Structure 1
Amino acid sequence: MAWVSTASRDGVANLAPISFFTAVGRKPPMVSVTVGPRSGGVTIKDTLVNIRDTGEFVTNLATLPQVHSMHSSAYEFDSAVDEFEALGLEKEPSEVVRAPRVKGAPISFECVVDRIIPVGEVGVDHVVWGEVVRFHIRDDLYMERGRIDIAALPAIGRLAAEYTLVDNVFTTPLDEALLAARNDRRMERLDARPANWSPMDGPNGSPSGATAGLRR
């Protein structure tokens, strides 16, 4: 999951968790983020405005130690508010783009816009392709031959209205007994809620996880 930092034309910093995030190319390295509208379903978000106006953004890897701040950055702030300051987060200066990085993020990609693609109904979604012009990787994560120690990253993902922690890795084939033992096992809940609980069942539930007052 990406935690996207941008800056407005006037230099106001913005943060947004983006669940639609992936790599789209290797030479040159490119990533994509899909930005939806504000909670009202019409107005575009500050993230997209800033990306469109400046042609730059940073994707910071979202990990468990910063999950509360990451989630809080989804709430709607006025466009004039510096969200780093509002959330008590420290900035790390970027080297190529003007948008700041999130201090403490284990991996960050400085990106310049390659293209912005409207998708579907007018104003609903925009896919942004960004060329990575600078990689920032924490020293202890960088291994020989350019590999990343992924087992040391408590990466966060999004599953509709909830989050998930990536806390295991494997290669195939797996032992048949292990597969059989896990066949009907439910995910472990880290929040101590009942196993079948879902925020989708509440009054503010939605497939995207958006609720009134949420911006991204």
Structure 2
Amino acid sequence: MHQVAELKVLYFGTPVVLIGSRNEDGSPNLAPMSSAWWLGDRCMLGLGNSGQTTANLRRERECVLNLVPSSMVDAVDRIALLTGAPEITEFKRERGYRSERDKFGAAGLTEQPADLVRAPRVQECPIQLECEVEAIHPLEGPDLRATAFQVRVLRAHVEDELIIPGTHYVDPLRWDPLIMKFCEFFGGGENIHPSRLAEGWKMPHRLEHALG
């Protein structure tokens, strides 16, 4: 039997992406997000308006989408409640966010130059997509201040071991993306790590985590 439910969160399961961008002073910024979907060589990115990445994409019109495997969940969780913005909104402050300019250092990840854009790649990510911003769409609502960025993939970098030999296809058996499902981390269909984001957003569930 179904019931009518006024759901507060609609993150049914989407891949985690680390968005590399450049700040106004040229320093690198790195932001985890999970509101992304692809069609052909285009991708739509949904970002809140108060974040540093949103400001960077508006100004620079480029980014790198670093796709995260489930094995990198620790690095993502370390920066889940960090923002590169110098000022933190009250909304984020209540959820435990703090300002941090060096996201690469906080995550323990390595900046790697891109070929076609100024935005940074993440060396540890096995799939990296260099992108340009094609269109910007405001998303407005009573409780929503966000932007949808339409980007085009200019170049893809993929680890050799993920490519099916003799093709230009990623092997789905070897690629295990980190999935964000209702603010919790999943890989291989299993909950794999506690989530600072879920704690900060006061999600009602308490999962039995694989790591303790």
**Higher strand fraction (1 or 2):** 2
In the aligned structure 2, how far is the partner of 1:203 from the partner of 1:32? Answer: 26
Counterpart contact for 2:29–2:104, Cα < 8 Å? yes
Q: Does 1:119 align with 2:139?
A: yes
Greater shift, 13-22 or 119-128, is seen at 119-128
In the aligned structure 2, how far is the partner of 1:203 from the partner of 1:6? Answer: 25
Shift of 1:130: 0.6
In the aligned structure 2, how far is the partner of 1:130 from the partner of 1:204? Answer: 28
Structure 2 SS opposite 1:158: strand
Shift of 1:116: 1.1
Which of 107, 123, 131 matches 2:152? 131
Q: Does 1:55 align with 2:58?
A: no
Shift of 1:162: 0.7
In the aligned structure 2, how far is the partner of 1:17 from the partner of 1:125? Answer: 16
Counterpart contact for 1:158–1:164, Cα < 8 Å? yes
In the aligned structure 2, how far is the partner of 1:95 from the partner of 1:204? Answer: 37
What does 1:70-149 align with in structure 2 at a 5 Å threshold?
70-79=76-85, 81-121=101-141, 124-143=145-164, 144-149=166-171
Q: Does 1:154 align with 2:176?
A: yes
Structure 1 SS opposite 2:141: coil
Q: Which residue of 2 aligns with 1:205?
A: 202
The CA deviation string for residues 103-152 of structure 1, in whole angstroms up to 9 with x for no partner, is 12110100000111111328612111111111101112122331111211
In the aligned structure 2, how far is the partner of 1:61 from the partner of 1:88? Answer: 16
- In structure 2, the CA distance between the partners of 1:48 and 1:30, relative to structure 1 (3 Å rule), is same
Structure 1 SS opposite 2:167: helix
Structure 2 SS opposite 1:145: coil
In the aligned structure 2, how far is the partner of 1:51 from the partner of 1:189? Answer: 32
Counterpart contact for 1:7–1:50, Cα < 8 Å? yes
Q: What is the TM-score normalised by the length of structure 2?
A: 0.72
How many residues are aligned here?
Answer: 171
Structure 1 SS opposite 2:170: coil
Counterpart contact for 1:8–1:53, Cα < 8 Å? no
> Aligned AA for 1:54?
E
Shift of 1:190: 3.7
Give unmatched runs, 5+ long, in structure 2.
1-14, 87-100, 205-212
Give unmatched runs, 5+ long, in structure 1.
38-43, 168-187, 194-198, 208-216
Structure 1 SS opposite 2:82: coil
Q: Which residue of 2 aligns with 1:40?
A: none
In the aligned structure 2, how far is the partner of 1:33 from the partner of 1:64? Answer: 20
